[in-house]
Amino acid sequence: MIFALVIVLALLVIVALTALGRGWFGWVLGGAIVIAWWKWKLGAPPTPFWIVAGTFAFFALLFGVRPVRRLVISGFAMKLVSGALPKMSETERAALDAGTVWWDAELFSGSPRWKRLIDFQVAALSSEERLFVDGPAHELAAMCPEHEIATRGDLSEKAWQFLRSKGFMGMIIPKSYGGLGFSAAANSAVIVKLSSRSVTAAVSVMVPNSLGPAELLLHYGTDEQKNFWLPRLANGTEVPCFALTEPGAGSDAASITSSGVVCRGTFEGREVLGMRLDWSKRYITLAPMATVLGLAFKLRDPDRLLGSEPELGITCALIPATTPGVEIGKRHDPLGVPFMNGPTEGHGVFVPLDFIIGGPKRAGHGWRMLMQCLSAGRGVSLPALSVGASQLAARVVGSHASVREQFGMQIGRFEGVEEKLARIGGLTYLIDSGRKLTLGAIDAGEKPSVVTAIMKAYATEAMRSVINDAMDVLGGNGICLGPRNVLGNAYAAIPIGITVEGANILTRTMIVFGQGAIRCHPFVQTEMRAVDERNVVTFDEAFFGHVNLVFKNGARSLLFSVGGRHAVGAPVSGAARPYYARLERLSSGFSLCADFAMATLGGQLKRKENLCGRLADALAHLYLGSAVLKRYYDAGSPDRETACMRWAAEFALERTERALDEFLHNLPNRPAAWLVRGLVLPFGRCEHGPSDRRQSEVARGLLDDRPERVSLTAGIFSPPSSDPGLGRLDAALADVVAAAGARAKLKDAARQKKLAAQGSTELLDAAVAAGIVTAEERALVERAERSRADAVAVDAFTPEEYAARRG
């Protein structure tokens, strides 16, 4: 029995040192422990002694001497891994190579370095950028009441002229080319403000500053192309669109059939070497009014005029809309949200090869160019739109739930409504935290493709939840469209954000984890390249590093599960401290689950989209939870954010643990699932999300114009009180808050039978006569009641007005 315990101790030493990357030393030390005990206890009988010593020496030699390990183990392991790896196309490789890895890699390691996150500096807006957000962006928002745009079917001519003249279409273009040269954070702040007023205005500004001609030119254009196009794009002389999506190629954009053939032809009266293009694109924003099309197509060179390769691949070019054969002008109607969007076709369009972005040398490089640009761009526009819409919902619902009363009480005080308010406030804080951290990374020079995919997919999904909850609280006020309805058009626009820039269904399963498992893992991509190159030396280092990582995360997961928050140190003190340990526990568990998924399923994992989706959910919420802690730290841990921080952190923890639990419940290899569950969730799930008390704390912060509400919605457009929508609501809230003290006196007097229940005028007369309230307080109460009645009113139209609205 004692001998067996000694052997177990030796094996634990081997596992621990293997986890630290010292496996060979583990075998030596483990052997030494057994041999020392044997000599002490039994005097080391010759035969057993040499058997044990030889065994440990053999494994120490096998794992500790790298040439031996490579010959005996790594070469064989490389053959096994090679057979299990999925086959990858060139487009998949280009997507994997696009961008950089960042904090997502720390989470994949299972042991995130929190100090690195805490020390990372998120750059603030410059004074020039802040002035633009508070000035021209505010002015443009004021010109764009969404109900008027929806009735008109477009922005006003005044708004279009303003956004062109003030540089909105060239925010990402450097000043040297006539643009504003703004950071990603400033670009995002403008979109947040605009989207809180008008989805149409926000989208109209987003597109020229997102994936499209300007960004592609900046990264890949020739000097001649930059000097010609960028100043015209910056001042709005040229209106761009980017034509990628086709009837048969949506999320699978690499399968486009639009084609180009290298040939000779006549262009503007001269014979040149060029391309004859044919395309049919749809869902192209700004296409109906575009003056220049960025076009993605597959280029062929059957006569080998450019070289020996007949199939050049996906290529990007700039095509003036006036070129013969180009067809634009028709509009789609995306759920009644009237931003410019429509199809474009081209038939036999001939242009010179110089129209390729980057010139002829970039022929066939289009897919890589697009992936590189998307690796950062996904993290800017749609997350900003989602945050703007969510902040607007929080502001609107906070006002409405404070002003509207039922059964003699603010509806925001009912627990059922509190649940909705808490989710609105908590999710808004969650995605805004992710937005800010991601923008900080982009402005620091990173292009974190997995992180930006997380933000695109999970911010738009959170927006969907927030707007749905807001509509539930608003009830009839959210249903009846018109100038008073602030959220109706935002509700209609939800599926647009869910769908564009890669549908969320596939972004979740194919990019966040599908690419993340390779890009962000410390060793997998190196292992794959080593297999491709038949490089045993590189494979040996990566493979055994990978093995060490599995042992380490297994041990850490069990230790954290048993030791809880005391097993991990945190870089901060205060309210956020316990969440660091809980996130780290789940980071180790996530890394272990990901490794077992890859080990047991190999290339089949690519087709197990439900499993990939659950692991994507875990990674996404680990990232968002990290962003919440970072935001709270950077803000100085203010009391006004504490409730939202706790709600968002607990939500992220619960979603992460739920995802891992469901993954293990469905992992096909059941023995592996049981083993991992025993390490990661030995006592079952222990993260249960925000409690009722936490929900109440967040919900109360959105009511009565408290500092929490103001802080959470600081980025939106706040209209004047004359505005029939949010302006009217906020003005009513101010009146209700001003009269709260007087109303409390009236209620106390009624409870004490000092006032008899009667009509409001008589009640106020009696209260003033009895000295319960002053005449000034009576005026406040009366004004608040008038404002309350006006705030809960909805729009109604005469038959003629209604017919005019329907066009």
User: Residue 89 has what pLDDT?
Assistant: 65
Q: For the chain, what percent of residues have pLDDT higher than 90?
A: 67
- What's the length of the chain? 807
Q: What is the pLDDT of residues 343-361, one digit of tens each?
A: 999 999 999 999 999 999 9
Only one residue has tokens 């003699």, namely: 408
Out of 172-176, 410-414, 511-515, 752-756, which region has the weakest mean confidence (pLDDT)?
A: 752-756
**441: pLDDT strictly greater than 90:** yes
The whole-number average pLDDT for the span 457-485 is: 96
Q: What is the pLDDT of residues 366-388, one digit of tens each?
A: 988 888 877 778 899 999 999 99
CB contact at 8 A, 513 and 613: yes
Q: What is the pLDDT of residues 584-598, one digit of tens each?
A: 999 999 999 999 999
User: Residue 803 has what pLDDT?
Assistant: 85
Residue 547's pLDDT band (cuts 50, 70, 90): confident
User: Residue 12 has what pLDDT?
Assistant: 58
Q: Which of 215, 501, 527, 657 is catalytic?
A: 501
* E-state strands within 610-700: none
User: Residue 493 has what pLDDT?
Assistant: 93
Out of 44-48, 88-92, 454-458, 671-675, which region has the weakest mean confidence (pLDDT)?
A: 44-48
Out of 21-25, 317-321, 600-604, 785-789, which region has the weakest mean confidence (pLDDT)?
A: 21-25
- Long-range interactions of 504-510: CB distance < 8 A, separation 24+: 504/456, 504/457, 504/460, 504/461, 506/251, 507/251, 507/453, 507/456, 507/457, 508/457, 508/613, 508/616, 508/617, 508/620, 509/609, 509/610, 509/612, 509/613, 509/616, 510/609, 510/612
Q: What is the pLDDT of residues 226-266, one digit of tens each?
A: 999 999 999 999 999 999 999 988 777 778 999 999 999 99
Query: Which of 210, 205, 208, 214 lies closest to 155, judged by CA?
Result: 205
**647: pLDDT strictly greater than 50:** yes
- Long-range interactions of 475-483: CB distance < 8 A, separation 24+: 476/794, 477/400, 477/792, 477/794, 480/794, 480/795, 480/796, 481/147, 481/150, 481/795, 482/147, 482/794, 482/795, 482/796, 482/797, 483/145, 483/147, 483/148, 483/724, 483/725, 483/795
CB contact at 8 A, 197 and 155: no
Cα dihedral: 47, 49, 52, 55 (round 10): -70
User: Residue 509 has what pLDDT?
Assistant: 86
**539: pLDDT strictly greater than 70:** yes
Residue 771's contacts (CB-CB under 8 Å, 6 or more residues apart) are none
User: Residue 168 has what pLDDT?
Assistant: 97
**807: pLDDT strictly greater than 80:** no
Total-model pTM: 0.92
CA angle, 194 then 458 then 188, to 5°: 30
The whole-number average pLDDT for the span 513-540 is: 84
Out of 93-97, 125-129, 607-611, which region has the weakest mean confidence (pLDDT)?
A: 93-97
The whole-number average pLDDT for the span 673-698 is: 95
User: Residue 689 has what pLDDT?
Assistant: 96
User: Residue 603 has what pLDDT?
Assistant: 80
501 is catalytic: yes
Residue 101 tokens, joined: 């890895």
Distance, in Å, from the CA atom of 246 to the CA atom of 281, rounded to the nearest integer, reads 4
- 164 CB neighbour count, 10 Å cutoff: 16
User: Residue 521 has what pLDDT?
Assistant: 87
CB contact at 8 A, 16 and 27: no
Residue 330 tokens, joined: 């028709």
The whole-number average pLDDT for the span 404-408 is: 90
The whole-number average pLDDT for the span 129-135 is: 97
Residue 148's contacts (CB-CB under 8 Å, 6 or more residues apart) are 156, 483
CB contact at 8 A, 19 and 588: no
Distance, in Å, from the CA atom of 458 to the CA atom of 460, rounded to the nearest integer, reads 5
Q: 447 to each of 66, 390, 627, 664, how far by Cα in Å?
A: 36, 25, 17, 32
The whole-number average pLDDT for the span 722-748 is: 92
Q: DSSP labels for 706-739?
A: -HHHHHHTTTS----TTSTTHHHHHHHHHHHHHT
Query: Which of 168, 206, 108 lies closest to 520, judged by CA?
Result: 108
